[in-house]
Structure 1
Amino acid sequence: MTEEAGETGGRSMYLIRGRRVMVSDLLEAGLIEAGAKLRFNRARIGATYTATVTGKGRIRLEPDGEEFRSPSRAAMVAAGMRAVDGWRAWWVVDQDRLLDNVRQELLDRAISRVAHQQTEDKVRQRIHERLRQARSRADEHAPEQITVRELLAFWGAKERGDQVSQIEADLANHGLVTSPSFRAVTLDTLVSLTTPPDEAEVPATVGSPVAGELPVAEDDEGDDDLNVRLTVGNLSPLEGVESVGPNSTLHEAITKMVINDYSQLAVLSGPRNPRGALTWRSIAQAIHRKPDATVADAIITHVEVVAYDRDLFEVLPALQHHEFVFVTDIGKAVMGIVTTADVARRYGEMATPFFQLGELDQTLRWVLKGALDLSTVQPFCRRPIESFDDLGFGDYEHILENKDIWQKLAWPLDRQVFIARLAEIRTVRNKVMHFHPDPLSEDATKKLRNFTRLLHRYRDPT
C-alpha cells in the first residue's frame, strides 16, 4: 500500500467512526475542487445566494467574502435565517448536485475502502447501510419511526451516554435528525428518522430556538452542542393523554379518573387546543358549590402547557404551584403530562446510585484503613496517595488484587469474583458521575445494592 493510500484509508476510518464530515474532507478526497462555485436558491422568496469553496475547505460568501467552515452556518448568514441544513441548501454548480450528495459519495467510498481492506468490523458498515435506508425513506416522505431505545441499539448502546455525539454525527452525515429530538424524550418514545426542514422562516436575529421546532444539527468538527439538560420530555413518553371535552359530564370525567387512577384529567377541545384540567379538588369544590355541576364548573383554566424539550428546572416552579404540567410534542399537540410524583421518582432514580456509591466508597475505605497501614497500600496506587481519603474505586481494585492483602482481610470470598464485581461497580460509578440523562438500569442498581449488603457482612476486619 502506498503512503497516499494509507493516509486515505486512515482518513476514511476516521470519518466513519462518528465524526462529522466537513467540506475540507471533500476537498482532500478530490470530490470537490478549490474554487468550486456553490449556489443556494430560496424558491419561496425568489432569492439566490452564491459562494466559493476555498483551498482550505471553507465556504466564502459572495460578494462580502465572509468565510465559514460550516455549510449550515454559511447558508444561515447568507440568507439571514435562524436555521437551515446547509448540506441540502448549497448546490455544487459544476457538478449539478447538492453538497449533501457529494458527502454521501465520500461516505460510500469510505465504507467501501474499509470493507476492501478488512481493517474494520461489520458494525460501521451495518450502521451506514441502516442510515442510508432511513434516509431513502425520509426522502420519500415516509420516515421510519422507531423508539429511542431501538435507535441506540444501532450503535450497541442501551442508554444515552458517551456515544450520543457519535450517534448525532452519524445521523447528521446522512442528513438525518430525529423528530422529536432523541435527547429530549424517554427511551420508549417513538421518534421519526427524517430530514431537517428545507427552510426556517425565523430571522437569524432571534435568540433561542422555538420550543418543539425540529433542530438542525451543527456540522462543524468539535462544535457539537453541549447538552446535559434534563427535559420535560425525558419524563413523559408523549403517548397521548386521557381527556374529556369542555361539554362532557362530570360523571364521564370522574369515571375516567377512577378507572385510570388519575389525579388530574386534561380538558381538550382538540389535541392542540387545551382548555384546562380537572382535579379531585376542583371537582369536589364544584359539586360543593353546585350539586349538578358540569365539567365547565370544575375546570381549572390556568394550567401550564410546556414543550417537550423545555428544561425541567425551568418548569419546577409551575410544578410546585400546580402539581402537574401538560406536555406538547413537536407538533404542539398535548401528548403527555408530568406531575410532581414523576419528578420525585426521577430524582430518586438519579440520587439513589449516588448515595449507594458513596456508601460503598466509604465502607471500602474504612475496611482498608482498619486492616492496613497507609504505607502498605501506597505501592498499589497509580498516583500519589497521602491518606486513605485519597483512595478511589480504581485503587480499591489494585489493592485488593494483591493476595497478601486479601488474606489479611480473612473474608470467606473468592478474590477474583469479588474483584470482577468491583470492576463492574467502578464502571457503574463512571456512568453515574458523568451525569448521563437516563436512569441507571435495574440490573446496575441491583448490583450496587447487593454489593453494599455484602460489604456490610464482612466489613469488620477482625
Structure 2
Amino acid sequence: MTDSTVGDGAEESPGRASYLFEGRRVRVSDLVDAGVLAAGTQLTFRRKRSGEAHPARVTADGRIELSDGRRFKSPSTAAAAASGRGPFDGWTAWALDDGTLLDVLRQRLLDTVAEQPSSGGSSTDGSASRHARLKDARKQADADAPITLTVRDLLDWWGASRRGYLVSGQVSAELANHGLSTVPDFAAVGLDDRVALIGPSVDTEDEQEATAEQGAATEPEEATEPERARMTGAPGPTTTSDEAEEEDEDEPIQGQTVGNLPSALRGVESIASSASFEEAFTKMRLNGYSQLPVLNGPRNLQGAVTWESIALARHTDAKAPFSRAIVKAHAVSYSDHLIDVLTHLEQFGFLLVKDQTNRIAGIITIADVAAEYGATARPFLLIGDLDRQLRRVISEGLDLAEVIALCDPDGRRKLTSFDQLSYGDYQQVLSNQKQWDRLGWPLDRKPFTDRLNELREVRNELMHFNDKDKAGDAAVPMLRNMIELLRECGG
C-alpha cells in the first residue's frame, strides 16, 4: 500500500484501495501498513477441541513469525505449519490477545476503504456496491443461509459476462477477501449452473475428531464438498521460511474442466441393480441412450448397462439375470481437468460425473468431448486464416521498406520480410493513413481497424487458453466476415 492513513477522509488512492478496487487479496502486510495491526502483535492459533495453543507474532514486514522463527506471508500456511496439519483458513484461525480474529481486522480495513469518498468513476462505484453485496453474502453464509446464484449472475457483480484469466482471478481474490468461496467452484462448472457462497472453513482437526467419535453412524451421503475438504485436508507445508510466495486461497481453476461440459451436471437417468431387462430397455429407448448407469442410491455406483452388455448377457444365456448385463463404469469429479480424463473416456466410452457432494450428477460421452474440442478449434483455425489474409494483402499491396520503417523503426527486431510481421504489426500498418491509401480499398479505415482491434482481443484470449466461456464462438461470424472482406478487397 502506498498510503498508511486509511480512514482519514482523504480522497482514495489507487494503491491504497488496490485490494478492494483492483481485485487483489488482502495481506497481513496491508493491515500493518494501514495501522490496523501493529508490528509485534502477539497472535494465537488455539485449537478448540484439543486445547493446543500455537503462539506467533506479527513482524514489521507483515509476516507471521512462529515460535520456532519460521515466517510466513500467508496466515493459512502459518497455521498449517504451526500445527503440522491442515488445511486451515488462517484468517479465522489466528486471534489477537483480546480474541479479535485477523478476519475481523481484514473486514474492518475493507469497510474503511469502501467508506472513503468516491472519486466518481463508475469502476469505483461498482466496486463499492460489490463490497456491500459481498458483506451481505458473508453475513448470510455465517448464518447458514448462503446465497445461491448462477455463475453468470455472480460474474455480473464484476460487470463480466465470461471467465477470462483476469476476471476469474479478481472474482476469486475478492471472494477470499470476504472469507467466501463458491460451492461448487465457479470456475469448474457451466455459466448457468448454480453455486453457493459459503464462509470460512472450521478447524480441520476438530471436525476430524468429532467425525471419528461419531464413527460409522455418520451418513456419508451428508458430507459436502467444503466438509470433505475440511475433514480430509492434506498435511500442512513444512517450509522453514518465506521462500515460497504463498496465497491464502487456491487460484481459480484454469482450463476446461469436466464440469464445463453442458451435460456434466445436467442430471442422469439411472436404474437400480435390482431392475429388469425390460425396465432398462424401456428407459434407454425412450431417452435415446446408449448406456444407463446402475445406481443403488445417488452415490452408490454399481456400474452401467449398455446395448452391447445387454445383448451379450442375453446371447450367452437367454435366462440370465439382469445383473449379468452390468459392466464396470468409471466416475470422475466435475472439477477434474478435461484433458486428464480422456484416457478413461477412451476406455469406457462414457464417464459419470460426481458433483461437489459426490452425487452422480451427469454423464459425458466421447461425442460431448468431440463437440467441445471442435468448438474450441474452430476460432483457432479462423484466427490462423485471418493472419494469413492480413499478411497477404499487406505483402502484395505495400512496400516492405516502408512497412519495416513503421513496425521496426529502430531496427531492434531486425525485420527483413513480411513473414516476420505480427498481428500488432498488421494493425500498425493498416492504421497508418498513408499505407491505407496505398491499398486503394473502398472502405472506411476507422471501423475496419476498430474491428481488427476487437479481433486482437479475441485472439489474445484464445492464444493464452483463457477462453473458458467460448468468446471465440461469438467471434466466429466477425472472423469470417473479416476474412471474406480481405479476400474481396485484396483480390
Q: Fold match, TM over 0.5?
A: yes
Q: Quote the residue 1:336 is aligned against.
A: 362
Q: Please, which moves more after superposition, 379-388 or 182-191?
A: 379-388
Which of 19, 41, 47 is the aligned partner of 2:46?
A: 41
Report Cα offsets for 1:272-294 as digits up to 9, x if no partner: 10111122222222333344655
Which of 51, 57, 60 is the aligned partner of 1:55?
A: 60
Kindly report which structure 2 residues correspond to 1:128-147, keeping only aligned pairs within 5 A, or say none.
128-147=131-150
Deviation at 1:143, TM superposition (A): 1.1
Report Cα offsets for 1:332-355 as digits up to 9, x if no partner: 111121211111111112211111
Aligned: 1:420 with 2:447: no
Aligned: 1:393 with 2:416: no
Aligned: 1:234 with 2:239: no
> Is the contact made by 2:332 and 2:352 (CA closer than 8 Å) also made in structure 1?
yes
Quote the Cα distance in structure 2 between the aligned partners of 1:257 and 1:196. 43
Q: Quote the residue 2:489 is aligned against.
A: 458
Q: Quote the residue 1:158 is aligned against.
A: 161
Q: Quote the residue 1:285 is aligned against.
A: 312
Q: Quote the residue 1:69 is aligned against.
A: 73
Deviation at 1:251, TM superposition (A): 2.5
Quote the Cα distance in structure 2 between the aligned partners of 1:46 and 1:347. 53
Which of 400, 408, 416 is the aligned partner of 1:374?
A: 400
Q: Quote the residue 2:237 is aligned against.
A: none
Which of 100, 121, 125 is the aligned partner of 2:124?
A: 121
Give the residue type in structure 1 aligned to 2:401.
S
> Is the contact made by 2:45 and 2:53 (CA closer than 8 Å) also made in structure 1?
yes
Quote the Cα distance in structure 2 between the aligned partners of 1:448 and 1:70. 45
Aligned: 1:26 with 2:26: no
Give the residue type in structure 2 aligned to 1:169.
A
TM-score, normalized by length of structure 1?
0.89
Quote the Cα distance in structure 1 between the aligned partners of 2:306 and 2:72. 54
> Is the contact made by 2:430 and 2:436 (CA closer than 8 Å) also made in structure 1?
yes
Q: CA RMSD in A?
A: 2.8
Report Cα offsets for 1:346-383 as digits up to 9, x if no partner: 11122111111011101110121112221122233266
Quote the Cα distance in structure 2 between the aligned partners of 1:432 and 1:222. 29
Q: Quote the residue 2:241 is aligned against.
A: none
> Is the contact made by 1:172 and 1:219 (CA closer than 8 Å) also made in structure 2?
no
Give the residue type in structure 2 aligned to 1:431.
E
Give the residue type in structure 1 aligned to 2:375.
E
Which of 448, 454, 459 is the aligned partner of 2:479?
A: 448
> Is the contact made by 1:303 and 1:325 (CA closer than 8 Å) also made in structure 2?
yes
> Is the contact made by 1:326 and 1:337 (CA closer than 8 Å) also made in structure 2?
yes
* SS state at 1:77 partner: helix
Quote the Cα distance in structure 2 between the aligned partners of 1:226 and 1:125. 23
Quote the Cα distance in structure 1 between the aligned partners of 2:289 and 2:438. 57
> Is the contact made by 1:143 and 1:193 (CA closer than 8 Å) also made in structure 2?
yes
Which of 318, 327, 342 is the aligned partner of 2:353?
A: 327
Question: Residues 133 and 382 of structure 1: is their aligned pair in 2 closer, same or farther, counting only changes over 3 Å?
Answer: farther
Kindly report which structure 2 residues correspond to 1:309-328, keeping only aligned pairs within 5 A, or say none.
309-328=335-354
Question: Residues 278 and 196 of structure 1: is their aligned pair in 2 closer, same or farther, counting only changes over 3 Å?
Answer: farther
Question: Residues 223 and 390 of structure 1: is their aligned pair in 2 closer, same or farther, counting only changes over 3 Å?
Answer: farther
Report Cα offsets for 1:269-324 as digits up to 9, x if no partner: 01110111122222222333344655423211x21111222232221111111111
Kindly report which structure 2 residues correspond to 1:352-363, keeping only aligned pairs within 5 A, or say none.
352-363=378-389
Q: Please, which moves more after superposition, 70-79 or 228-237?
A: 228-237
> Is the contact made by 1:20 and 1:219 (CA closer than 8 Å) also made in structure 2?
no
Question: Residues 222 and 371 of structure 1: is their aligned pair in 2 closer, same or farther, counting only changes over 3 Å?
Answer: farther
Gaps of 5+ in 1: 204-209
Quote the Cα distance in structure 2 between the aligned partners of 1:391 and 1:286. 63
Question: Residues 305 and 3 of structure 1: is their aligned pair in 2 closer, same or farther, counting only changes over 3 Å?
Answer: closer
Give the residue type in structure 2 aligned to 1:287.
R
Quote the Cα distance in structure 2 between the aligned partners of 1:194 and 1:55. 33
Deviation at 1:226, TM superposition (A): 7.8
Quote the Cα distance in structure 1 between the aligned partners of 2:277 and 2:250. 50
Deviation at 1:85, TM superposition (A): 0.4
Which of 253, 256, 265 is the aligned partner of 2:292?
A: 265
> Is the contact made by 1:180 and 1:214 (CA closer than 8 Å) also made in structure 2?
no
Q: Quote the residue 2:177 is aligned against.
A: 173
* SS state at 1:243 partner: coil
Question: Residues 167 and 291 of structure 1: is their aligned pair in 2 closer, same or farther, counting only changes over 3 Å?
Answer: same
Question: Residues 241 and 224 of structure 1: is their aligned pair in 2 closer, same or farther, counting only changes over 3 Å?
Answer: closer
Quote the Cα distance in structure 2 between the aligned partners of 1:288 and 1:408. 76
> Is the contact made by 1:359 and 1:452 (CA closer than 8 Å) also made in structure 2?
yes
Q: Quote the residue 2:103 is aligned against.
A: 100
Report Cα offsets for 1:95-117 as digits up to 9, x if no partner: x32110110000000111143x5
Quote the Cα distance in structure 2 between the aligned partners of 1:264 and 1:146. 32
> Is the contact made by 2:271 and 2:292 (CA closer than 8 Å) also made in structure 1?
yes
Deviation at 1:456, TM superposition (A): 2.9
> Is the contact made by 1:12 and 1:111 (CA closer than 8 Å) also made in structure 2?
no
Give the residue type in structure 2 aligned to 1:109.
T
Quote the Cα distance in structure 2 between the aligned partners of 1:173 and 1:382. 44
Deviation at 1:3, TM superposition (A): 9.8
Question: Residues 105 and 321 of structure 1: is their aligned pair in 2 closer, same or farther, counting only changes over 3 Å?
Answer: same
Question: Residues 222 and 136 of structure 1: is their aligned pair in 2 closer, same or farther, counting only changes over 3 Å?
Answer: closer
> Is the contact made by 2:41 and 2:58 (CA closer than 8 Å) also made in structure 1?
yes
TM-score, normalized by length of structure 2?
0.84
> Is the contact made by 2:181 and 2:197 (CA closer than 8 Å) also made in structure 1?
yes
